[in-house]
């Protein structure tokens, strides 16, 4: 018998989009096995535990394989045919539109959806439903970096250079990123940097496994890295380290940014951040003295109510030292979600049309309306951001169609969001498993997974990738594109919503043509032949753009813009009642809301549940021992989880991972205060108090 061919593809989880191959097994319990794929340059065959175990979620044991419709009499979700389920969804959407108008119907997407799905979902919302009320969970991922990128450079692409440049630069400042847990195969870029003689500075309130690799680790109080960046810029100026030639030739707005930084004295910054002045000076010297350098941020500085300004302050540091717009130098965002990059380019975001066009730009509306064959005036305007949309559920938004997201676990102020979801007139969810959010739905549509469908993803480098279908999906599931195709048909749109992904991609190419994220020259064939193609790529002859901004920035005058910023406190500061800072994040063996990874035995064995990481001094004060349950209480609610005691965290701070539902749900506590520009909630900083939990007390929520 000939051996079954392995199909080259990519991991279903994070934005690194590691290359892997899948070989079908024919076993419904584990339908595919992962085969090494060393030719893909990003990970060169390395995978973390999530990627290696990803086929487990394909198992018939853990997934939905038939639609579910809530019975009006019993209130229970019961199996239904696809015809019944789709008719119920179409009816729910139609009824709300008729009774309350198109904006009473909301659509919520996800940063894991392929480009084709994100594109079709945005088009479906605007044409079929006519609603402005669409946004997606990627808003919770990298929106502050995207906004800061746009402000400074005129274009947002996570990394303006390929990952392979990182080991060749002189110094990397990694801000609020724990690559060792979030993207382990990417850690080798930092290891190679150090082997090449480059310096690594890590800025994180916790001494993480990533911070342990650093030449210098600065541990600011959560929510104060904006002040730290300003203090560093102050020293760059006062120590005469400004690259005056670069500033004069390639930037605008320096004087105002300089003035902002000069009001942040190092001693004052030490008081705000807790980082000693000598350490700040050392960081400035390491970065400034290096001939080339990069600042890479992740969710730490971004998930704040001042995330856009915080990222802007780090960009200002790059610009002042001439470390941008040059080979091996620049600012980049380590995007988190699998298609966090592509998902924000093609129209599922509240203010956006495909190709990273703006919904309020008349020329953009005219171009996209032309591709879609409608009048520009028929397109609704910008809608609410993700949290604002979730907060409006049950109010003026009465029905929600949700794809690829689990906000009951992942949204800030999660108990409130759960209550809002329960208050809807109608909720339809398309998912691969019965997530906590799907369990609240009136109709659940079981959909295909990454290995069972074809589609493109755009990784954190801006490299457009193709995931080819490797397996036949189980009977009873349909792809998200098939769902949207069928719903569009039921709602009177016989054409314009193809279920074939390549057909969608061909239209996406045309819709993106001439836009900031121009995919016009990218085809499935090219992606396969070239190990991905970097956008912008305007024509089939264009070679793609791995490195941006080397000649000019994407602003009208070609100059990068300094944006003046000043430090401000977190939206919620500690006080006598809530004296401790809570910060949240991820662990290596779970992914986001855990909807998939919590179905994998190996991952659950490695990371079985939530915990509260706290300093020994705090534990002693509370009388709590390792593993004992502890309550974390904020103004939003209460979560309970075992204590994990470590000196790796500041005594004024506790950390909780956010992957779990139930009493240990970290997002119950999180403050939904929004950044005024990016509308990013403040996941990384809120005020809490800690309480020991008597055994037998299970109170939470």
Binding segment (CB under 6 A) for ligand SF4, from list 46-54, 279-287, 393-401, 600-608: 46-54
Pick 47 or 142: Cβ nearer ligand SF4: 47
Smallest distance from ligand SF4 to CB 451, Å: 13
Tokens standing for residue 376: 């520009």
Strand segments (E) across 425-487 = 426-431, 443-446, 455-458, 463-467
Outline where 173-252 has alpha helix (H): 179-182, 187-195, 225-238, 244-250
CA gap 255, 188 in Å, rounded = 38
Of 37 and 561, nearer to ligand SF4 (C-beta) is 37
Biggest CA-to-CA distance, the chain: 75
The distance of closest approach from Cβ of residue 500 to ligand SF4 in the complex, given in angstroms and rounded to an integer, is: 26
From residue 208 to residue 247, the character string flagging contacts with ligand SF4 as x (rule: CB under 6 A) and all else as - is ----------------------------------------
CA distance 204 to 225: 9
Among 17, 177, 339, 678, binds ligand SF4 (CB under 6 A): 17
Torsion of the alpha carbons at 669, 141, 610 and 18, rounded to the nearest 10: 180
Select from 16, 34, 290, 470 the one that contacts ligand SF4 (CB under 6 A). Answer: 16
- Residue 51 or 340 having the CB closest to ligand SF4: 51
Taking a C-beta distance cutoff of 8 angstroms, is the pair 336, 142 a contact? yes
Closest distance to ligand SF4 from the beta carbon of 22 (Å): 13
> Contact between 32 and ligand SF4 (CB under 6 A)?
no
* Number of other residues whose CB lies within 10 A of the CB of residue 540: 12
Q: How far out from the chain centre does Cα 282 lie?
A: 32
Please say which residue, 47 or 685, places its beta carbon nearer to ligand SF4. 47
Nearest-approach distance from CB 17 to ligand SF4, in angstroms? 5
* Residue closer to ligand SF4, measured from CB, 586 or 638: 586
**Candidate segments 6-14, 148-156, 615-623, 628-636, binder of ligand SF4 by CB under 6 A:** 6-14
Interacting span for ligand SF4 (CB under 6 A) from 45-53, 225-233, 283-291, 616-624: 45-53
Q: CA–CA separation, 451 vs 56, rounded Å?
A: 11
50 binds ligand SF4 (CB under 6 A): yes
Residues 503 and 507: their CA atoms lie apart, in Å, by 7
Nearer to ligand SF4, 18 or 402 (CB): 18
Q: Which is nearer to ligand SF4, 287 or 658 (CB)?
A: 658
CA 537 to each of CA 277, 358, 521, 534, 644: distance values in angstroms, whole numbers, following the listed order: 45, 19, 5, 7, 48
Work out whether 185 is an interface residue with ligand SF4 (CB under 6 A). yes
Q: CB of 684 within 8 A of CB of 310? A: no
Interface with ligand SF4 includes 31 (CB under 6 A)?
no
Q: Which is nearer to ligand SF4, 11 or 104 (CB)?
A: 11
11 binds ligand SF4 (CB under 6 A): yes
- Which two structure tokens, joined as six digits, stand for 658? 């956010």
Q: With CB under 6 A as the contact rule, which of the stretches 15-23, 568-576, 607-615, 653-661 interacts with ligand SF4?
A: 15-23
Q: Are 229 and 310 in contact (CB under 8 A)?
A: yes
CA distances from 693 to 183, 614, 615, 631, 651 (A): 34, 15, 18, 6, 20
Collapsing DSSP to helix, strand or coil, 100 comes out as: helix
51 binds ligand SF4 (CB under 6 A): yes
Q: How far is the CB of 457 from ligand SF4 (least distance, A)?
A: 10
Q: Give the residue with the Cβ less far from ligand SF4, 17 or 213.
A: 17
- Closest-CA residue to 193 (of 202, 183, 205): 202
Residue of the chain from 14, 290, 487, 571 that contacts ligand SF4 (CB under 6 A): 14
Sequence-ordered list of residues with C-beta below 8 angstroms from that of 419, at least 6 positions apart, any chain: none
Name the DSSP class of 206. B
Q: Which stretch binds ligand SF4 (CB under 6 A): 11-19, 88-96, 634-642, 682-690?
A: 11-19
Question: Angle at the Cα of 461 (from 459 to 466), degrees rounded to 5?
Answer: 35
Q: Is 80 in the site for ligand SF4 (CB under 6 A)?
A: no
* Under rule CB under 6 A, residue 183 binds ligand SF4: yes
If you search the block for the tokens 């003026």, which residue do you land on?
396
Count, residues near ligand SF4 per rule CB under 6 A: 14
Report cis status (omega within 30 of 0) of the bond before 157. Answer: no
Cα angle vertex 506, ends 505, 510, to 5°?
110
Q: Is position 142 an interface residue for ligand SF4 (rule: CB under 6 A)? A: no
Verify binding: residue 55, ligand SF4, rule CB under 6 A: no
- Of the candidates 476, 478, 420, 422, the one whose C-alpha atom is nearest the C-alpha of residue 449 is 478
Q: Is 48 in the site for ligand SF4 (CB under 6 A)?
A: yes
Residue closest to ligand SF4, measured at CB = 51
Is the Cβ of residue 48 or residue 284 nearer to ligand SF4 in the bound state? 48
Residue 340 engages ligand SF4 in binding (rule: CB under 6 A): no
What minimum distance in Å lies between the beta carbon of 16 and ligand SF4? Answer: 4
Q: Which stretch binds ligand SF4 (CB under 6 A): 16-24, 153-161, 315-323, 681-689?
A: 16-24
State yes or no: residue 18 binds ligand SF4 (CB under 6 A): yes
64 touching ligand SF4, by CB under 6 A: no
Selected binder of ligand SF4 within 6, 7, 34, 47 (CB under 6 A)? 47
Using a 10 angstrom Cβ sphere, with 0-12 exposed, 13-18 middle and 19 or more buried, the burial of residue 320 is: buried
By the 10 Å C-beta count (0-12 exposed, 13-18 middle, 19+ buried), 71 is classed as exposed
Q: Closest approach of Cβ 633 to ligand SF4, in Å? A: 32
Q: Which residues contact ligand SF4 (rule: CB under 6 A)? A: 11, 13-14, 16-18, 43, 47-48, 50-51, 183-185
């Amino acid at each position: 018998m000939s051996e079954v061919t392995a199909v080259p593809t990519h991991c279903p989880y994070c934005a690194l989009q590691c290359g892997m191959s899948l070989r079908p097994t024919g076993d419904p319990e584990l339908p595919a096995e992962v085969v090494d794929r060393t030719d893909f340059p990003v990970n060169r065959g390395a995978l973390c535990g999530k990627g290696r175990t990803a086929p487990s979620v394909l198992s018939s044991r853990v997934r939905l394989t038939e639609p579910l419709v809530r019975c009006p009499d019993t209130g229970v979700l019961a199996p239904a045919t696809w015809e019944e389920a789709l008719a119920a969804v179409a009816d729910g959407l139609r009824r709300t539109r008729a009774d309350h108008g198109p904006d009473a119907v909301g659509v919520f997407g996800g940063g894991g959806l392929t480009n084709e799905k994100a594109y079709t979902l945005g088009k479906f919302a605007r044409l079929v439903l006519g609603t402005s009320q669409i946004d997606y969970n990627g808003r919770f991922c990298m929106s502050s970096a995207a906004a800061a990128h746009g402000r400074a450079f005129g274009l947002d692409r996570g990394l303006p250079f390929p990952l392979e440049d990182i080991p060749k630069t002189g110094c990397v400042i990694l801000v609020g990123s724990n690559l060792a847990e979030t993207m382990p195969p990417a850690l080798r870029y930092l290891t190679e940097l150090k082997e090449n003689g480059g310096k690594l500075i890590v800025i994180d309130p916790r001494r993480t496994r990533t911070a342990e690799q650093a030449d210098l680790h600065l541990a600011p109080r959560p929510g104060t890295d904006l002040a730290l960046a300003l203090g560093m810029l102050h020293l760059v100026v006062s120590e005469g380290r400004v690259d005056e030639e670069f500033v004069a030739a390639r930037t605008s707005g320096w004087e105002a940014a300089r003035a902002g930084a000069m009001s942040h004295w190092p001693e004052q910054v030490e008081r705000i951040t807790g980082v000693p002045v000598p350490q700040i000076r050392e960081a400035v010297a390491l970065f400034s003295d290096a001939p080339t350098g990069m600042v890479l941020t992740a969710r730490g500085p971004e998930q704040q109510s001042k995330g856009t300004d915080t990222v802007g302050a780090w960009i200002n540091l790059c610009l002042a030292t001439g470390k941008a717009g040059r080979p091996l130098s620049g600012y980049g965002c380590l995007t988190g979600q699998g298609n966090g990059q592509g998902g924000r380019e093609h129209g599922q975001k509240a203010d956006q049309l495909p190709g990273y066009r703006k919904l309020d730009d008349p020329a953009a509306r005219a171009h996209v309306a032309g591709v879609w064959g409608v009048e520009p005036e028929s397109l609704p305007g910008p809608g609410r951001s993700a949290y604002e949309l979730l907060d409006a559920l049950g109010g003026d938004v009465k029905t929600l169609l949700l794809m690829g997201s689990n906000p009951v676990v992942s949204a800030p102020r999660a108990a409130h969001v759960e209550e809002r979801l329960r208050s809807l007139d109608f909720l339809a969810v398309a998912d691969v498993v019965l997530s906590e959010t799907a369990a609240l739905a009136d109709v659940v549509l079981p959909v295909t997974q990454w290995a069972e469908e074809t589609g493109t993803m755009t990784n954190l480098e801006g490299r457009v990738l193709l995931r080819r279908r490797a397996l036949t999906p189980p009977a009873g599931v349909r792809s998200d594109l098939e769902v949207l195709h069928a719903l569009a048909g039921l709602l009177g749109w016989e054409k314009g919503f193809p279920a074939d992904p390549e057909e969608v991609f061909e239209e996406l190419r045309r819709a993106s043509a001439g836009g900031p994220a121009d995919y016009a020259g990218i085809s499935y064939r090219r992606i396969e032949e070239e190990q991905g193609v970097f956008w912008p790529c305007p024509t089939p002859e264009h070679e793609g753009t791995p490195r941006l901004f080397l000649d000019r920035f994407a602003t009208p005058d070609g100059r990068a813009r300094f944006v003046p910023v000043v430090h401000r406190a977190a939206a919620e500061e500690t006080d006598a009642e809530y004296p401790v800072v809570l910060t949240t994040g991820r662990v290596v063996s779970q992914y986001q809301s855990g909807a998939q990874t919590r179905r994998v035995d190996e991952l659950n064995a490695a990371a079985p549940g939530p915990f509260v990481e706290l300093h020994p001094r705090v534990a002693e004060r509370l009388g709590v021992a390792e593993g004992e349950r502890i309550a974390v209480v904020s103004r939003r609610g209460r979560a309970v989880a075992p204590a994990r005691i470590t000196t790796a965290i500041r005594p004024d701070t506790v950390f909780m991972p956010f992957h779990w539902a139930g009493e240990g749900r970290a997002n119950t506590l999180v403050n939904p205060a929004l950044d005024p520009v990016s509308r990013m909630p403040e996941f990384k900083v809120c005020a809490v108090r800690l309480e020991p939990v008597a055994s037998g007390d299970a109170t939470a929520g």
